[in-house]
């Protein structure tokens, strides 16, 4: 039951914020909506979003000056206080409202614990594509570190595939300079994933920015890296018997992946299945799960 509630969080928040998503009851429960002085609100320290585009903020502030703040800011009451609210979703609107010199803002008060606040903050930003890839990865890391979430938990909560979560988390392995270029928009997440396969990501990242290299260009560079060049086999050509080669071909066709069988004379050996992306691995695991009834 708790798991179903977690899965409904993203859809529930989307409905609350006016997105076209099916209604679902989030774990955080709505209390009421009211108008309060803007100084009663304070930002959420757990909000994964740290960067706010100045131009976009000014445009939103201009719109608010003309039309007012139509969409309420989602908040929770700060414990042991009367008139202090922590923002759950809508910090950008709150910042723009201050620029527009609003004295009061509409709020939607919810009951939510720290974990739910963190989940909702990530969900809102991911749904609106407001996070840069590093902020998104840091948010996932925080949920995993603070609340022992698995990658599957995160995928269900935010409505993304497990491979998307895994690929995003891998970006945290990049060196700091490359992370900064990714955070400020100089590089895309596709560039970053290609850089992970290179021995000196920072040097290539700077080259990618200065020369305007595409993701495809970086992928070609990663394929040319020494560790990605195929190793010369020490076995003589035609070493495998026809039956083994035929079985390899059948497995290749059945899985859509590269399957290598290394059979030894004493009857032992190994079967290696090679995949290029996490999506391919996910698809294989799903097929094996259905075949072996691993999902009950």
Helix (H, G, I), strand (E, B) or coil at 158: helix
Taking Cα atoms as reference points, which of 135, 90, 145, 86 lies closest to residue 110? 86
Taking Cα atoms as reference points, which of 41, 10, 35 lies closest to residue 116? 10
Sign of CA dihedral 171, 177, 180, 185: negative
- Whether 55 is a known active-site residue: answer no
d(CA 121, CA 195): 29
d(CA 120, CA 117): 5
d(CA 185, CA 189): 9
Contact 85, 78 (CB under 8 A): yes
Residue 131 CA to its chain's centroid (Å): 9
> Which residue's structure tokens are 């992306």?
277
Considering the candidates 59, 66, 86, 91, report the single residue annotated as catalytic. Answer: 91
Residue 29's φ and ψ, nearest 5 degrees, are: -105, 140
Helix (H, G, I), strand (E, B) or coil at 259: strand
Facing residues of 271 across strands?
261
Q: Which residues are catalytic?
A: 91
């Amino acid at each position: 039951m708790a798991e179903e509630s977690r899965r409904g969080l993203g859809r529930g928040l989307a409905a609350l914020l006016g997105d076209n998503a099916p209604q679902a009851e989030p774990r955080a429960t709505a209390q009421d909506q009211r108008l309060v002085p803007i100084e009663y609100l304070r930002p959420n320290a757990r909000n994964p979003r740290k960067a706010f585009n100045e131009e976009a903020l000014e445009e939103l502030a201009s719109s608010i000056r003309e039309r007012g703040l139509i969409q309420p800011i989602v908040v929770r009451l700060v414990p042991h206080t009367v008139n202090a609210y922590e923002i759950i979703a809508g910090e950008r609107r709150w910042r723009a409202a201050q620029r527009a010199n609003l004295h009061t803002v509409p709020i939607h008060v919810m009951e939510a614990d720290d974990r739910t606040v963190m989940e909702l903050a990530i969900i809102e930003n991911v749904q609106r594509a407001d996070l840069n890839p590093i902020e998104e990865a840091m948010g996932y890391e925080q949920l995993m570190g603070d609340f022992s979430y698995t990658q599957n938990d995160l995928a269900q909560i935010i409505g993304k595939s497990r491979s998307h979560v895994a690929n995003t988390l891998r970006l945290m392995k990049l060196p700091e300079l490359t992370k900064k270029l990714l955070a400020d928009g100089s590089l895309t997440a596709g560039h970053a994933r290609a850089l992970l396969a290179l021995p000196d990501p920072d040097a290539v990242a700077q080259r990618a920015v200065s020369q305007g290299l595409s993701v495809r260009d970086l992928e070609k560079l990663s394929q040319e890296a020494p560790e990605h060049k195929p190793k010369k086999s020490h076995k003589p050509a035609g070493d495998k018997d026809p039956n083994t080669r035929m079985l390899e071909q059948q497995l290749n066709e059945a899985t859509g992946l590269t399957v290598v069988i290394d059979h030894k004379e004493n009857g032992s050996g190994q079967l290696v299945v090679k995949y290029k992306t996490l999506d391919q691995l996910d698809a294989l695991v799903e097929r094996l799960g259905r075949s072996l009834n691993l999902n009950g």
